[in-house]
Structure formats: C-alpha cells, structure tokens
Amino acid sequence: MAQQFAARLARALAVGTTVAMVAACGGGGSSASTPTPVSAAVTYPSSALAGELVDFTVNLQLLTYAYTITESQFGLTGHAGSGTLVRNADGTYQLSGIPGAVMAILPNGLLLGAIRDTFGGVMTTVPILGMQQPVSTLSSAASTYDFVQRSCISGVCSSGQGTFQLNADGTWTSCAGGDLSSATPACTVQSSGTVNSLGNGKWQVMQAGTDIGTAFAFNSSGQNVMIMDLKDSRAGGFGIGLLVGSSEQAISPSLTDGTWLAAGTDASWLTFAASGNAINYLTFNGAPASLSMTMTMNSPWAGFVAPSVGGAAMLAGAGVYVYEYGGYGEIGLKIH
C-alpha cells in the first residue's frame, strides 16, 4: 500500500499529482496544542478510514493513549490497544506500538491518530479522525455540508465529493458530485433518509431501512464539521469507509495558509505547507519531500479546492483536512 503513494508521489514530481484537502476555517483550529483540560484522560469519539468506530483516549499529563474499537465491519469490535506518547518539537506525538504513526490534537478538540489491528488478515495501521465534544442536538448539527468520502465494497475502493444536507427535523439528502445549494446541483447520485439519536452526540444514518453509518458533528468558530463512518455493503451503496464534511463556506488563503499533517489509507504520513495558492510537500514518512503544485480555491464550488494537477478537493472548517483520489484517501489536521 505504501508503494501506491510513493509511486503517486514520483509521478507527481514528473507530471503532477491529484490532491484534495480539507483545511482550516476560523480561529482555534490552526495549530497542534494541548487542549483543556490536560490533567485528565480525554476520550475522543472517532472514525477510522476503514470505517471502524473507535473511542480513543489520551492523557497528555501521563503521556499515554488507549483505544477501543466500538463497532467494526471486520470483526474487531472490542479490540483494544494502548501505549505511550512522545512529544515532537512541532507539538505532535509519536505513538508507541504503532510504527510511523503521529498524533495531533487541536485546541478545539479535533484529533488525528491511528489504530493498529488485523484487517482482512493483515496487520494494518489505520488513521482515525475524532472530536472531543460532538454536539448533542440535531438543530446544532443541521447544515449543508461539503463532503469527501472514501469507501470500499468487496475489496474495490472508490472515492468522491459532493454535498450532504442534514435537517433539524432528522431528515437528510445527499448529492454525489454536485452542490445541493445550486439551483441545478447535477448530482450523479442523489439519496435521502433519516437519522436517529444513539446518544452522546452520535447519530444513526438510515436509508430505506438500511443503517449506512454513524455520524457525529461539532461546531468551531461558526462552521460545522461532520465525521461519518460508513458501513453500507449494498451494491451501489455508500460502501464501508469514511465520509468527512464541513458546512459549505467559501475559503481563502487566510484560512488555509499553514503547515498540515496528513495520513493516508496506505499508512503513509506526510506534512505539507500551504501558502496562497501554492502547496509544498515537506516530508513523506519522515523523509524530506519536494513536491509542489498550485490550487484554485472554491472550485468546483464554495469550500473545495482544485489543484493545478486535477482531482477532487475540499477545504473545510476548524483545521480538518481530507483528500481523495481514485479510491485513495487522506485525513489530517492543520498543526501550525
């Protein structure tokens, strides 16, 4: 899997690559930092790129972490892991027992981390994205979200972008490939359904009697972020994986400039710097990288980014990053 990204990076150095990202909007999410409180263990409801639901607990005073998989599509429910943390100079953390993985926590309570377990018979490191305090009411979660998703069915993985409208009355509509805020959204697939409260800020997302995933959301500086694990194995369904969304808002360099940490579905870890319309990769799996490209903001609609080399991209709120290309995916956070 790591070879896939390395090959993509090599191609990019010669002819460019495809990047999609979700970046920061608003204050409070722009640097890796110790959240409040730091003296006690904090649990982050999280979703893994493979589609698992995870409770990830961090104690920054004791420099420890622990996690439990609370729902799995791979027979891993109840599996747990734990270890110690080593703080890096940039405010991120290395996780013992998960080689190469890096953890970051933003002041607003967003977390990027990883779990390690046997998926499909192979010991695999899977990145996770979580939040400390999901909102507990539909009125707070309701919004029209830009989204990027990556999911798999029967071993075949795909990815894409679109919009997802969650209403305060518990109904939802999604539009793959199009903008629901437009008079002519041009959806490639349009779906709808309802949500049910599971308590503790988690929402069961239903479509015609099928549980397609569990969503949780939070608000930071006036913009919502939604994370949804996907568990829809129907042919033509949403698949098994991860959907990340943010309330649809225009972006600008004042929100995206900075240093970003990201992790991929192939267990690669990288950092890059965004400045104006330029992206410059800094590291790949800890080694220096020299890829650069440009990007067009708010394309194909508000909140997304179109890299000069093509691809689907989204910039969203509170320091969250998400990327998709041809079934490959990345998630991350803005650390500086």
Type of residue found at 313:
A
d(CA 257, CA 88): 21
Kindly state the average pLDDT of the residues 26-40: 49
Of 103, 77, 75, 78, whose CA–CA distance to 91 is shortest? 103
**Average pLDDT value for the chain:** 88
Write down the pLDDT at residue 31: 52
Type of residue found at 14:
A
Write down the pLDDT at residue 169: 97
* Residues 6+ away with beta carbon under 8 Å from 13: 290, 291
Burial 264-291 (b: 16+ CB within 10 A, else e): bbbbbbbbbebeeeebebeebeeeebeb
Q: Does domain 42-131 have CATH number 3.10.20?
A: no
Write down the pLDDT at residue 32: 54
Higher pLDDT: 7 or 219? It is 219
How do residues 241-250 score in pLDDT, each as one tens digit? 999 999 999 9
Q: What is the DSSP string of 47-84?
A: EETTS-EEEEEEETTTTEEEEEEEE-SSS-TT-EEEEE
- Under the banding of pLDDT at 50, 70 and 90, the label for residue 314 is confident
How do residues 164-213 score in pLDDT, each as one tens digit? 999 999 999 999 999 999 999 999 999 999 999 999 999 999 999 999 99
d(CA 114, CA 261): 13
Q: Tokens 């490939």: give the residue.
A: 177
Write down the pLDDT at residue 39: 57
